[in-house]
Amino acid sequence: MAAPMMARFGGRVSAWLSVPYRLCSSAPRAAPPRPPLRTRLLLFLYRRFYDVENLVTWSAALKLWNLRRKNAYYGYTQQLYGDGVAAAYYILSLRGGVRFSGQSDWIRPNSRGRFSWDFMEFRDVPIEEVDASGTEINYRGLDNLAPLSSLRSLSLSRCPHVDDWFLARLHVFSQSLEELSVLPSSDRGAALLQ
């Protein structure tokens, strides 16, 4: 069946799969929707020309590189300023929100993605709540959050890269985490959250 051009990440394909699948019924399946002209044209050119194939491959690789850059491990920051500051900077750079223990206000970036550096005052204060909903957090980014031993609440709704592997790694928070909000991608995801 036709999958979209840039569907290198499983999460984005679901937007195109608007046709319900009837796995066990004998009724004839509805034909999958034809992708728009732009996609079909790009696919035709991809198949015919090596240049187009290279350009498409490079643009997908660029997207992946960007994702990896956003989820890089802030090891140097951790060494210099501590785990809390590194994790806070990481979450804020992803446009998420952080709340430190003892504070009632959330620290969030504004609509343009800019945030103040006030969180640097809280070097030794543990982070209690992290709101990463709608961000591009993924498995590699959990390296930044893993040292947070007193994390109480983690919100992961609407994150496109939170998959079963990500959820399986959340066991590192099993001691302290009280509230976890996530939309699991499959029924196997529900098994992981045991």
Partner 1 sequence: MWSGACRPFKTLTGSLFSGPRCARYARWRTAPIRGFSAGKGDDFFKDVESELKKFRAKAAAALPGSDWTPLVVNPALPPERADVVIVGGGVVGWSVAYWLKKKERIRDGVRVVVVERDPTYSQASTVLSVGGIRQQFSMPENIHMSMFSCDFMRNINEHLDVMNEDPVDLQFNHAGYLFLASENGAEIMEHNYNIQRGEGAKVSLLSPTQLKNKFPWINTEGVVLASYGMENEGWFDPWALLNAFRKKAISMGVYQCFGEVTGLQCTSREMMTAEGEPVEFKRIHHVIVRMPNSLESQPVECGLVVNGYKMETWRNNSYLFTGIGTGCKDTMAGIPLPVEPRKRYVYVFHCPNGPGLEMPLLIDPSGAYARREGLGGNFLGGMSPSEEEEHDASDLEVDHDFFQEKVWPKLGHRVPDFQNIKVRSAWAGYYDYNTFDQNGILGIHPLVNNMYLATGFSGHGLQQSPATGRAVAELILDGGFKTLDLTALGLGRLFSGERMLERNIV
Q: In the complex, which residues of this chain contact partner 1 (CB under 8 A)?
A: 1-3, 5, 7-10, 13, 43, 46, 50, 56, 64, 139, 164-165, 167-169, 171, 187-188, 190-192, 194
Minimal distance, residue 192 CB to partner 1, in Å: 5
End-to-end CA distance of the chain: 35
Minimal distance, residue 156 CB to partner 1, in Å: 16
Q: Which is nearer to partner 1, 10 or 113 (CB)?
A: 10
Q: Which is nearer to partner 1, 53 or 178 (CB)?
A: 53
Q: Which is nearer to partner 1, 57 or 116 (CB)?
A: 57
Rounded to 5 degrees, φ, ψ at 156 are -130, 30
Minimal distance, residue 16 CB to partner 1, in Å: 11
Residues in the chain: 194
> Distance between CA 147 and CA 172 in Å, rounded?
9
Minimal distance, residue 113 CB to partner 1, in Å: 26
Half-sphere exposure of 119 (CA within 13 A, CB side): 27
Q: Cβ contacts of residue 90 below 8 Å, gap of 6+? A: 74, 141, 144, 145
Q: Which is nearer to partner 1, 13 or 120 (CB)?
A: 13
**163 and 10 Cβ atoms separated by less than 8 Å:** yes
